[in-house]
Structure 1
Amino acid sequence: MDYHAIMSLIAKGRTYSEITASVGCSYRDVAAAKRAMTAAGITEQRLASLSAADLQDLFPDQRKAVSGQYADPHFVQVIEQMKHNRFFTLQQGWVNYLAGTSSGKKYSYSQYCERFNQFAETTDVVATLQHEPGKAMFVDWAGPTLPLIDPATGETRKAYFFVASLPYSGLVFCQAFDTMKRDSWNQAHVNALAFIGGVPQLIVPDNARTATHRPRGKDSEVVVTAAYRQLAEHYQCAIVPARKKRPRDKAHVERMVQAVETRIIGYLASQSWTCLEELNEAVHERLVDLNDRLRRVNGSTRRELFEAEEAALLAPLPDDPFESVEDKQLKVGRNYHVTSDYQHYSVPYEIGWEDLVGADYREHSQCV
């Protein structure tokens, strides 16, 4: 509580309502400050010379006196244990705390956990993800786009950038597409897996519409789309979407997207592009620089770490790449044609019209 601000407003003759609205305190806090000013004879002139120590003497924190009776749980050491040992739990930390030789009372397990959560919030401590080689591939669309200009018509369309990365080695894949629809999303995955030369155990996408959906409007459950699930089954891997409103779940790919934006898109934004093929050739050249030439703090490149420790742990690619297939049931019309995607396919006239009209196209597919 900012008692100095409360006393300043009291000295200026402000009302209780004005002080509580301005400082965000309670009437009880204002009354306590007024009593302290009266007891110590504090005027507006003397208030300006009060130090933090003086305010501490006037308004002592009773919680510190209570907590001083308990042994220090040493949460900094607990966090270091968690960083270096992913199997270390908070309960183990509490057991070690009880077994310690420190004098004073010991917190119960619930108090220990509550104080650890308070410590984690005040020091901005987050869980450290221990990435394993060959375990996961993170995927997402980059935010920025580049214009593609048709030289004949002058029409401009957008190029969207797909980003995939392996969190252990940091190997990055990027490719430009003219849409962010399902076919582009799936083809981007096929190309990314071919780029790394293997299949990880998990693919972690953001909650893009081409990746996930909710069966019911207010249902919190996230379901992988059918086409995306077929891709996972083809490559024998699992898809684990990042949780909604949990940016730390996909912090790695966000950093890789930022690297793509600065080292690939930023370099190419000053040039004019007329087709995806030309743009993706330039993207590939920038990827070589990012993966094979740029050395990080430890002196290694992304490619070197990938080849040394991660490539051998990836599952092999299937013999054939995944292809999106859409299954349709069509009806034969009165004009002896079946229509699919604005294409008309005729049916031999020898077959009687009454046998075909309204019939299931699958039953007469050999006639097409």
Structure 2
Amino acid sequence: MHKIHEVLRLYHQSQMSERAIASSLMLSRATIGKIIRRADEAGITWPLPDDMTESQLERALFPRPQGRPKNCFEPNWNEIHMEMRKKGVTLQLLWMEYKEQHPDGYQHTQFCERYRLWKKSLQVTMRHEHRAGEKMFVDYAGPTARVIDPETGEIQEAQIFVATLGASSYTYVEAQWSQNLESFIQGHVHAFEFFGGVPKLLVPDNLKSGVNKSDRYEPTLNRTYFEMASYYGCAVLPARPRKPRDKAKVEAAVLLAERWILAVLRKRTFFSLDELNVAIRELVIRLNEKPFQKLEGSRKSLFEAVDKPALQPLRETPYEFATWRTARVNIDYHVAVQGTYYSVPYPLVGQEVGVRCTQRVIEIFHKGNRVASHVRGTAKGQFVTDSAHRPRSHQAHAEWTPSRLINWGNSIGPNTGILVSRILDSKRHPEQGYRSCLGLLSLSKQYSGQRLERAAEKALLANTISLASVKTMLKKGMEQLTLPLHIDNPTPMHSNVRGAAYYQSSKQNIVH
């Protein structure tokens, strides 16, 4: 209807026929006739008043229906709006309840139209409908909060995690040291505890902490994030990239957190993260109790009436943070996790497995089934082995055996064979020496067998039975040096100095 002004101009000023006007403006003749007729009925003549806009002209010619006379009982639209957020409640149901109490009230069409007009007055842009207990939106605020180390005076910037419920806008805020995965998960767990329940859907922005690959239709979630959501019985629905209205609720909450929390605390000095979070919690309570401007009540009252009854119950035990990684089982039937080795059933040698790591436990999965669980080791290089995972017979289960490794060493030279045997004997279980022996094998691909044999001889003479010593000698060419066999100056006597006899047994098998 934005062409009304032009229709009247062409008709009155240019004296064009209705047919010609219809062809020029690509409108139907019926529409042209209706505009001209309604202008005559409304007493609108040409030229139009200078201050009359197209919208005013449209309302004058095509006024919206006002419905029944105003003597009908007007519903409390604020209460209707709150009821609409509850699960299963529809306008049809609310109208039927209204008509039961006021038989002469608005009919269904006018009831719905007046509610929509009232709702539009709340905000210019129509937002998504949020059902009670359905969604929790999460994001990080842009600004940070400063925390000063009381000992060093160093200033650290704390990140601000924000979570808000869709139906009530009830908001949770906390300060964290970073936006890494552990902090991101911790923020969710604390938000659930603050709300006293769990929503059905989590709507994060496409943060790298929670979403490995952002995609409009099939985003890939971080496995830990997916596991945490499954643990609490909810699902994750990341906001679509470049779709700000998908996360409008949390963006509004972030803005409020910046204005009503961070701005208020900008002049205060904090010396620990806990101290900062105590101050934030006080302001969060004040924010949630602050009355709405265009609705009755506050976020807290709306939360208690709408969201809280619809949330799913909390688990008795909070989710324990865990990370996931993949590993391949070595021939010693162990997988490496941050320098510590954990056993799995021997038949899985060479297979790829999933490893779930918590602060206390290492769990290993193969094709979705848990095949091993260990108390987390405390030192690098430590072997954590379940005896049930050890095979009865290596020949029946694996290609590599101690005898085969020794035979391979002998194929390089007798000293290499002795070194392999010593490495295997130095371990509590021979399999724990497999890795070092395989390391020697890999060195034979970089250096000649003659150099490796010489390095093995030097390692045996120096009684340094380790892969690291051999690797260092080969890298620096030290295996070519000749060790002195006679020492002119005698060794001074001391209680901590061992004599030649002590080392005689370790040298008797060395081949020169």
**Residues 258 and 153 (structure 1 numbering): CA distance in 2 closer, same or farther, change over 3 Å?**
same
The amino acid of 1:134's aligned partner reads: G
Match among 7, 19, 30 for residue 69 of structure 1: 30
- The alignment status of 1:208 with 2:207, answered yes or no, reads yes
- The alignment status of 1:191 with 2:190, answered yes or no, reads yes
The amino acid of 2:380's aligned partner reads: H
Alignment of 1:91-106 (within 5 A): none
CA distance in 2, matches of 1:228, 1:65: 56
Note the C-alpha offset of 1:220. 6.8
CA distance in 2, matches of 1:64, 1:332: 76
- The alignment status of 1:286 with 2:247, answered yes or no, reads no
Which residue does 1:234 correspond to in 2?
A: 231
Note the C-alpha offset of 1:356. 1.6
CA distance in 1, matches of 2:291, 2:91: 34
The amino acid of 1:224's aligned partner reads: L
Worse-matched range after superposition: 292-301 or 201-210: 292-301
The amino acid of 2:266's aligned partner reads: A
**Paired residues of 2:340 and 2:379 also in contact (CA < 8 A):** no
Which residue does 1:49 correspond to in 2?
A: none
**Paired residues of 2:127 and 2:245 also in contact (CA < 8 A):** no
CA deviations 1:74-100 (Å, max 9, x no partner) are 9x89xxxxx999999xxxxxxxxxxxx
Which residue does 2:380 correspond to in 1?
A: 344
**Residues 63 and 159 (structure 1 numbering): CA distance in 2 closer, same or farther, change over 3 Å?**
farther
CA deviations 1:235-277 (Å, max 9, x no partner) are 1101101111111111111111101000001111111222110
Note the C-alpha offset of 1:221. 3.7
3-state SS of 2:173 partner: strand
With the length of structure 2 as denominator, give the TM-score of the two structures: 0.45
CA distance in 2, matches of 1:285, 1:198: 21
CA distance in 1, matches of 2:216, 2:286: 44
CA deviations 1:41-84 (Å, max 9, x no partner) are xxxxxxxxxxxx79x968x8965462563489x9x89xxxxx99
CA distance in 2, matches of 1:150, 1:314: 39
Worse-matched range after superposition: 243-252 or 317-326: 317-326
Identity of aligned residues (%): 31
Structure 1 unaligned segments of length 5 or more: list them.
1-52, 78-82, 89-123, 360-368
Tell me which of the two structures has the higher relative contact order, counting C-alpha pairs closer than 8 angstroms and 6 or more residues apart: 1
Match among 294, 299, 309 for residue 297 of structure 1: 294
CA distance in 2, matches of 1:128, 1:173: 21
Which residue does 1:80 correspond to in 2?
A: none
CA distance in 2, matches of 1:156, 1:65: 67
Which residue does 1:355 correspond to in 2?
A: 431
CA distance in 2, matches of 1:337, 1:286: 45
**Residues 356 and 136 (structure 1 numbering): CA distance in 2 closer, same or farther, change over 3 Å?**
same
Alignment of 1:102-117 (within 5 A): none
**Residues 125 and 173 (structure 1 numbering): CA distance in 2 closer, same or farther, change over 3 Å?**
closer
CA distance in 1, matches of 2:312, 2:380: 42
CA RMSD across the alignment: 4.0
Which residue does 1:318 correspond to in 2?
A: 315
CA deviations 1:285-333 (Å, max 9, x no partner) are 0011011244543331211111122211111011111111235669599
Which residue does 1:257 correspond to in 2?
A: 254
CA deviations 1:128-160 (Å, max 9, x no partner) are 422111111111111111122212212222100
CA distance in 2, matches of 1:208, 1:347: 36
Aligned length: 262
CA deviations 1:330-359 (Å, max 9, x no partner) are 9599xx975989943645999635232247
Which residue does 1:222 correspond to in 2?
A: 219
Note the C-alpha offset of 1:214. 2.3
CA distance in 1, matches of 2:289, 2:216: 44
CA distance in 2, matches of 1:219, 1:315: 28
The amino acid of 2:139's aligned partner reads: D
Which residue does 1:152 correspond to in 2?
A: 151
Structure 2 unaligned segments of length 5 or more: list them.
1-8, 15-20, 36-61, 66-80, 93-122, 343-375, 385-424, 436-512
3-state SS of 2:192 partner: helix
**Paired residues of 2:167 and 2:306 also in contact (CA < 8 A):** no
**Residues 126 and 227 (structure 1 numbering): CA distance in 2 closer, same or farther, change over 3 Å?**
same
**Residues 247 and 347 (structure 1 numbering): CA distance in 2 closer, same or farther, change over 3 Å?**
closer
With the length of structure 1 as denominator, give the TM-score of the two structures: 0.61
3-state SS of 1:298 partner: coil
**Paired residues of 1:161 and 1:175 also in contact (CA < 8 A):** yes
Note the C-alpha offset of 1:197. 0.5
Match among 262, 269, 274 for residue 272 of structure 1: 269
CA distance in 1, matches of 2:24, 2:240: 37
3-state SS of 1:66 partner: coil
**Paired residues of 2:171 and 2:253 also in contact (CA < 8 A):** yes
CA distance in 1, matches of 2:335, 2:381: 9
